[in-house]
Amino acid sequence: MDEAYIATVMDRLDRKVTRMIDQIGEKCPHFAGVDGKYDSTGTDWWTSGFWPGLLWLMHDMTGGTQYRDAAWHWDETLERWFSREDGHLHHDVGFQFLATAVIKHKLTGDGEALRRGLTGANYLAARFNPAGGFIRAWNGDHYGWAIVDCMMNISLLFWASETTGDPRYRHIAIRHAETTLQYGIREDGSVKHILSFDPTSGEYLENFGGQGAAADSSWSRGTAWALHGFANTYRHSGDVRFLNAAKRIAHYFVASLPDDHVPYWDFRLDTFENEPRDSSAAAIAASGLLEIADAVPDKEKHGYLAAAHRILHSLTERYATWDEPEHEAILLHGTGHKPQNHFVDGSLIYGDYYYAESFAKLSGWKHRMY
């Protein structure tokens, strides 16, 4: 993919996302099925930051005021859930507030956005279990659970440390990353989804399959979360352990891809016949591969860049909806939770976000929110 190709895709995204503003309206989009229409989830749902995040990204890249205007209210909307007993905010406040309050503050200097971002960071830090060294996942009675997805959320803590000068946020983020590295990453670079600890002693107990096919399988989006998350952690910490982890996971991810470079929903299925792909895993991994390429010496860059380009070219030419102007999403063939048959083989807003993020990075985007 040369500069002209990348510029063409960014132009397509400009036209597509502008159209999505009118199509999506006041919805909080998450999944679009065969009808091409995004659903509308509660604004406390973990994916609620990705649509405004996409809008802020496009505002930053193009200067278009339509994106800023549509994104402006989202951090205020999300903040209201902190004071509601019926809300479901949990470890994914990183996804939610990085893509709303943090990027809004970076781009506009808005003081209320800064306050809301720090509120989210405080909430995330309060979920830290010091005995086990992990940030607790979800709510309910699973006090000892941590999940690989949270490697992406800890960027909110790094940002909070950089913004306030308080190292405690950073300490928690690094400790969580160390625990995930120790217990969540297998020697071959595959990852586990759910880790279970004794919440009192901190002792590691076991892992569960979660959104993967089984406890010993290899959920492709979880692999992508880990790849991108460890690359982000290296960028924020400078600790080479995390870069090496990101590289190991990346090598496994790329080596496991099918011919068109877009993974099935799990890398370790008995058969791939009639199994759905997950374009969101591909987009997340591509963005993470670009992070690695940005971090390694020049002699290593080509392999990671080439892998990201292959994935993004395939998504652009085989999985995108450019020729379907009425379709409300960018990418097709994403899979959310196959074991429960939820959100299977459709469009996912986070797939759209990380696809656009990847091309923004290729275009020189500086205001990374993760």
Q: State phi, psi for 134 to the nearest 5 degrees.
A: -140, 155
CA nearest 315: which of 283, 293, 337?
A: 283
CA distance 113 to 160: 13
Instruction: Report how far apart, in Å, the C-alpha atoms of 230 and of each of 13, 150, 152, 154, 336 are.
Output: 28, 11, 8, 10, 22
For tokens 């217990």, the residue is 183
Reply yes or no on whether 75 is catalytic: no
Instruction: Considering the candidates 44, 60, 92, 345, report the single residue annotated as catalytic.
Output: 92
- Cite the DSSP H helix spans in the chain: 3-24, 50-62, 65-71, 74-79, 93-97, 103-108, 111-125, 150-153, 155-164, 167-184, 220-237, 240-255, 279-295, 298-314, 349-362
- Beta bridge partners, 207, equal 195
Q: Give one word for 129, left, alpha or beta, with left for phi > 0 and alpha for psi -120 to 50.
A: beta
CB 226, CB 186: distance < 8 Å: no
Reply yes or no on whether 149 is catalytic: yes
CA nearest 189: which of 265, 262, 268?
A: 268
β-strands 194-197, 31-32: how paired?
unpaired
Instruction: Considering the candidates 44, 75, 149, 278, report the single residue annotated as catalytic.
Output: 149
- Residue 160 CB contacts under 8 Å (≥ 6 apart), including other chains: 117, 118, 121, 122, 125, 166, 169
Residue type, 326: E
**Catalytic residue numbers?**
92, 149
